[in-house]
Structure 1
Amino acid sequence: MPPRGDEAAIVEVRELSRHGRLSGTIAEHTGAQRRRLIGAVYTIAMPVVFTRVTRRMELRRGHHACATSVRHLTDDCMDRFEDDMEAVVLDVERRATLPIRDLEAWIASRVGQATVDGYRRRRGAVGALQRPRLPRWLGEELAGDRWLCELALKILSWAGSPATAGTELWPTEAWRVARAEFRDDRQGAGIRGDIAAVLAAMRTRPDWFAAYVEGPLGYKQTPVAWLLEDDRGHPAEHAAFTFVDRDEQDDAQLRVLAYQAFEAIRLRIGRGEAAHAVVVDVIGTMFGGTAAGPADDRPLAAMRDDPVERNRIVAAVLTLLDEPGAF
């Protein structure tokens, strides 16, 4: 029995790759034939990307259901998977120009670089700097202040990130922790003033500010609104209707806390503190008592009381720090 259409396309893609003609053949075709070949590449690459990238990432995030199969990925996790798949398929399309005996093995050897390149392209697509660097003129506007220059880099990086900060525009809690490494004010009470000062310096070049800060910020997903409170902590307004359930709200807050934790860990390790102690301290401090529902504190208790579990968690966090686009 001859192979079905999709199976025949997979056989053809493997044959083209063995003769070093896969990239060229895809480039030669348009329409249905091109979609057929790209679809076959997608089918071949999918288990490689899920195993080598997605499953590892989901396990590190604690998304054990998402790590079981593509069918179990939640919407946000599926979006990340599709982004990585797009990057890998494009990498095959562009670079499969030499004879490849084992296409899956070749894809696996390049999956890390391909997904990093895809992450940078996505930042570029929204106008964000792919590798934020502090312009000399901005450093001069900030009088060379080490903290304000560091904060400027954080703003440039955040502008191009798809992450959100709850109901706020900026992740002020994470940056307040970072500020304490540069200022005597350990409470970071001046963080909002510092953000305003950096933004004012950036606005001295209006075209640059519009291109690399305002423009990318416009692509961020609208954050999930949390319950509004007044200065005394009492409800200030009750929504008559909510578009998401409490679990989604909890997940949104936990994502913000995760971003803030990773920012604090990166900064403190960069300042020379011992990585193991930093991870234990930050995770215990930031997740020891969250407002996101009835938190299960068993993992935190295990991290505190069980050296083996503590080492496992620390190793997972440090590995995740090296992943492109992680929080």
Structure 2
Amino acid sequence: MPRRSPTAADEVRGLARLGTLATTVANADEPQRLRLTGGAYSVVYPVVYTGLTQGLERRRGHPACAVSVRHLADDCLDRFHDDVEAVVHDVVRRATAPIDNLDAWICGLINSATVNGHRRRRGEIGALQRPRAPKWLVDGLGGDRWLVHLAVQMLNWVGNPATAGSQVWPVDSWTALRCRFTGDWDPAADVDVRHDIEAVLRVMRAKREWYERYVEGPLGHKHVPVPRFAPESPGTLAPALDLLDVGERDDLYMRELAHLAMTAMRTRLLAGEDPRTVVAEVINVAFGDGAGLAMDGTQHVSDATGEHVGRLLRDQDRISRIVVAVLAVVEDR
């Protein structure tokens, strides 16, 4: 029987026994480094699957994924590849002493390597590597234990490559978490969780730079989920992942509305119309009783807001101050 040629995996095991694997990889040229890294991947992936992934998949309730690597579902396979890559990263850097049983040595490395790999990936997209609620956030949430816990979950989630279907946040999972955390098994708990998420986001957005860096930025790296099956009804589209929550959509709409209102007032004022009349009419149409629906059919200006604006417009002193402010903006432009 012809003798089998040594593979890259054989070379990796041999270098590990000699204690020169890390040094050889560090000093290798590009082709040799890729060969040795590929060999390390061949050694590592079955160890990671049996030593980590298989147990995780059983605990997740994925019996099919716990059969073999070939049976891993798409998301589970992505997580598996991330874990293998993290372990390979540590193996080719930490194998500096002779290792007789490389597989057993890798088993002892898995936990620390995958944790460090997870933190590295979070850092690459700008997410906090060890999410904690800063003091200003805790204070802004009134020290509420559940809201603080939810804030940490949100900071964890933005750095996680997983998606929540067509939603930004995994509301269903956090609904169950809220019930366990608070002991309140309310049938409408999902509504409460959505309100809680909005409450946390409002406080986070108070520190705009922090929010954009640690929440909005990492969240933008999530992949939009692609449906595996076509929609059941012909001519219908699968729901897309909306990266703007309700609060952000309302804020965006109100900003656009304010810009349009300012443009309308400026045009009429430059045409010589009476400032008090222009300001009162435009504000009423845009934000008061005359405010209509947004283009998507949703009511971004609530009835209560419209009534409040109407009362303000009947206050002549307030109108005067608004007119002065508007004229200052128009003159500045």
Q: What TM-score do you get using the length of structure 2 for normalisation?
A: 0.62
Compared CA separation, residues 8 and 162, structure 1 to 2 (3 A): closer
Q: Hey, what does 1:66 align to over in structure 2? A: 65
Q: Once the 2 structures are TM-superposed, how far is the Cα of residue 243 of structure 1 from its aligned partner? A: 7.3
The yes-or-no answer on 1:11 pairing with 2:10 is yes
Q: Once the 2 structures are TM-superposed, how far is the Cα of residue 149 of structure 1 from its aligned partner? A: 1.6
Compared CA separation, residues 152 and 23, structure 1 to 2 (3 A): same
Question: For this pair of structures, how many residues does the alignment match?
Answer: 233
Q: Once the 2 structures are TM-superposed, how far is the Cα of residue 12 of structure 1 from its aligned partner? A: 2.7
Compared CA separation, residues 183 and 108, structure 1 to 2 (3 A): closer
Offset from partner CA, 1:83-131 (integer Å, 9 cap, x none)? 1110111010111111111111111121122122222222222221122
Distance in 2 (alpha carbons) for counterparts of 1:46 and 1:179: 36
For residue 162 of structure 2, what is the amino acid of its counterpart?
A: A
Distance in 2 (alpha carbons) for counterparts of 1:184 and 1:72: 38
Q: Hey, what does 2:205 align to over in structure 1? A: 203
Offset from partner CA, 1:32-72 (integer Å, 9 cap, x none)? 11111111111122221121122223333444443333333
SS state at 1:37 partner: helix
The yes-or-no answer on 1:170 pairing with 2:169 is yes
Compared CA separation, residues 184 and 13, structure 1 to 2 (3 A): closer
Please point out which of 209, 213, 216 is paired with 1:214.
Answer: 216
Distance in 2 (alpha carbons) for counterparts of 1:13 and 1:113: 21
For residue 69 of structure 1, what is the amino acid of its counterpart?
A: S
Q: Specify every segment of 5 or more residues in structure 2 that has no aligned partner in the other structure, as ranges.
A: 240-333
Q: What TM-score do you get using the length of structure 1 for normalisation?
A: 0.63
Q: Hey, what does 1:159 align to over in structure 2? A: 158
Compared CA separation, residues 173 and 71, structure 1 to 2 (3 A): closer
Q: Hey, what does 2:131 align to over in structure 1? A: 132
Q: After the TM superposition, which of the residue ranges 153-162 and 139-148 deviates more from structure 2?
A: 139-148
Q: How do 1:269-284 and structure 2 match up within 5 A?
A: none
The answer as to whether partners of 2:75 and 2:162 remain within 8 angstroms in 1 is no
Distance in 2 (alpha carbons) for counterparts of 1:63 and 1:152: 28
Distance in 2 (alpha carbons) for counterparts of 1:53 and 1:208: 35
The answer as to whether partners of 1:166 and 1:225 remain within 8 angstroms in 2 is no
Compared CA separation, residues 172 and 77, structure 1 to 2 (3 A): closer
Q: Specify every segment of 5 or more residues in structure 1 that has no aligned partner in the other structure, as ranges.
A: 227-236, 245-327
For residue 83 of structure 1, what is the amino acid of its counterpart?
A: D
For residue 174 of structure 2, what is the amino acid of its counterpart?
A: W
Offset from partner CA, 1:233-252 (integer Å, 9 cap, x none)? xxxx95626679xxxxxxxx
Distance in 1 (alpha carbons) for counterparts of 2:164 and 2:92: 36
Q: How do 1:36-115 and structure 2 match up within 5 A?
A: 36-115=35-114
Q: Which has the higher contact order (CA 8 A, sep 6+)?
A: 1
How much identity, in percent, do the aligned residues show?
51
Distance in 2 (alpha carbons) for counterparts of 1:175 and 1:240: 33
SS state at 1:130 partner: coil
Q: Hey, what does 2:314 align to over in structure 1? A: none
Compared CA separation, residues 73 and 184, structure 1 to 2 (3 A): closer
Distance in 2 (alpha carbons) for counterparts of 1:179 and 1:60: 21
SS state at 2:117 partner: helix
The answer as to whether partners of 1:167 and 1:224 remain within 8 angstroms in 2 is no
Q: After the TM superposition, which of the residue ranges 53-62 and 148-157 deviates more from structure 2?
A: 53-62
Distance in 2 (alpha carbons) for counterparts of 1:59 and 1:81: 14
Q: Hey, what does 1:240 align to over in structure 2? A: 235
Q: Once the 2 structures are TM-superposed, how far is the Cα of residue 17 of structure 1 from its aligned partner? A: 1.3
Distance in 2 (alpha carbons) for counterparts of 1:177 and 1:218: 26
